[in-house]
């Protein structure tokens, strides 16, 4: 009996936490907005966003939009390119992070979504499925 009460209390706290995460101070449900944005993107995927990157999926986790993007290069090709350019993997990950933030914050709709409390995450991998970088955008300046 005590176990059932504890499980019930935990389930109630989890639902309450999810609801709290979704509602902004003004009562706007940012999780519903994330679902609407995801649905718009999903219908046009896969989508080539640059010469080297194609977005293959868009998922929603609460207030977070998570995009999964694939680079045209294999891990071996990427490593060769980095070595030829004298760039470390850490430098690449940093550059990918600020470029992703610039892209998200530079678009009115995604900037507004982030300013309302949403998050946008990009997970990048090579063409042979090796993870390269994850970039999380959880703040944007006013446009």
- What mean pLDDT is predicted for residues 34-41? 94
Q: Tens digit of pLDDT for each residue in 80-124?
A: 999 999 999 999 999 999 999 999 999 999 999 999 999 999 999
The residue ranking higher by pLDDT, 6 or 68, is 68
Domain covering 30-137: architecture = 2-Layer Sandwich (3.30)
Domains of the chain by residue range = 30-137
pTM > 0.95: yes or no: no
**DSSP alpha helix (H) spans, 23-124:** 30-42, 75-85, 89-105, 108-115
The residue ranking higher by pLDDT, 5 or 19, is 19
Q: Nearest-CA neighbor of 105 among 60, 62, 139, 64?
A: 139
What integer best gives the mean pLDDT of the chain? 88
């Amino acid at each position: 009996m005590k176990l059932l009460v504890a499980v019930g209390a935990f389930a109630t706290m989890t639902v309450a936490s999810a609801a709290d995460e979704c509602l902004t101070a003004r009562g706007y449900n940012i999780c519903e907005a994330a679902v609407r944005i995801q649905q718009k993107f999903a219908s046009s995927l896969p989508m080539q966003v640059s010469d080297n990157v194609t977005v293959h999926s868009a998922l929603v986790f609460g207030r977070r939009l998570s995009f999964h993007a694939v680079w045209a290069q294999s891990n071996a090709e990427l490593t060769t390119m980095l070595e030829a350019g004298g760039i470390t993997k850490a430098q690449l990950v940093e550059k990918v992070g600020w470029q992703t933030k610039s892209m998200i914050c530079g678009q009115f709709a995604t900037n507004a979504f982030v300013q309302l409390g949403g998050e946008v995450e990009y997970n990048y991998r090579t063409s042979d499925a090796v993870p390269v970088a994850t970039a999380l955008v959880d703040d944007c300046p006013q446009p």
